[in-house]
Amino acid sequence: MRAQDNFIDSGWRVDVPATEAEIRSKFGTPVTLTRTPVENRHVQGQKDELVDIGYAGFEIRLYKTPKIQIPYYVSISSPDIRVALGLHVSSSVDSVILTLGNPAERKDGILRYTNHDGYEQDVSFTAVEGIVRKIEWHLAYD
C-alpha cells in the first residue's frame, strides 16, 4: 500500500480518536455538537445519525449506527494536533510533497491526494504562502 493510501485512510488518528466517547474523553466538551438523524439505506427502518463534533483547531464528523461509528470527515487547523508521518498544520508544502509524493491535484493552494481502493477518499492540504494551514480528510462510510 502506498504511503499516500495509508495517510488518507488513517493519518489523522495520531491525536484524534475515532469514537464520540473517546473524543469527548480526550478533549472534553466540544465547542459545537450537532446530531442529524438519517435513515440507514441498507437496513430498513433503522435510524442512524450524523454527528458533527467541533473543537478549536479540529472537527470530526461521524456516521453512527447502533453498532459502529465511522469517521467520514476530519478537519485539522491547529498545529498542536499531530497527524501521521510527521506532517502537521504549519508543515511546508515541500515537506508534504517530499513525504507523500506528487498530489493527484494541485490548484489554488490546495494539494489533494486521492485513494480509489473501492471507495473514493481523499486528503487535502490547504496552504498559504507555501505553509499548510488546514488538513481535511473525506472518508468513505458506506
The backbone torsions φ and ψ at residue 27, rounded to the nearest 5 degrees and listed phi first, read -110, -10
- Please state, in angstroms and rounded to a whole number, the distance separating the CA atoms of residues 43 and 47: 9
Percentage, residues of the chain above pLDDT 70: 95
Which DSSP symbol is given to 92?
B
Non-local CB neighbours of 122 within 8 Å, separated by 6+ positions: 8, 104, 112, 113, 114, 115, 137, 138
Polymer length in residues for the chain: 142
pLDDT of residue 62: 95
Q: Is the dihedral of CA 7, 8, 9, 13 positive or negative?
A: positive
The backbone torsions φ and ψ at residue 91, rounded to the nearest 5 degrees and listed phi first, read -70, 155
Please tell me the pTM assigned to this model.
0.91
pLDDT of residue 117: 65
- Please state, in angstroms and rounded to a whole number, the distance separating the CA atoms of residues 132 and 22: 27
pLDDT digits (tens, 9 = 90+) for 80-118: 998 999 999 999 999 999 999 999 999 999 999 998 665
- Residue whose cell numbers read 468513505: 140
pLDDT of residue 11: 85
pLDDT of residue 82: 86
Domain containing 64 equals 3-138
pLDDT grade for 59, boundaries at 50, 70 and 90? very high
Q: Is 20 exposed, middle or buried (0-12, 13-18, 19+ CB in 10 A)?
A: middle
The residues pairing with 59 across neighbouring beta strands, listed in sequence order, are 54, 75
Question: What is the average pLDDT across 33-58?
Answer: 94
pLDDT grade for 119, boundaries at 50, 70 and 90? low
Average pLDDT, the chain: 91
The count of structural domains within the chain is 1
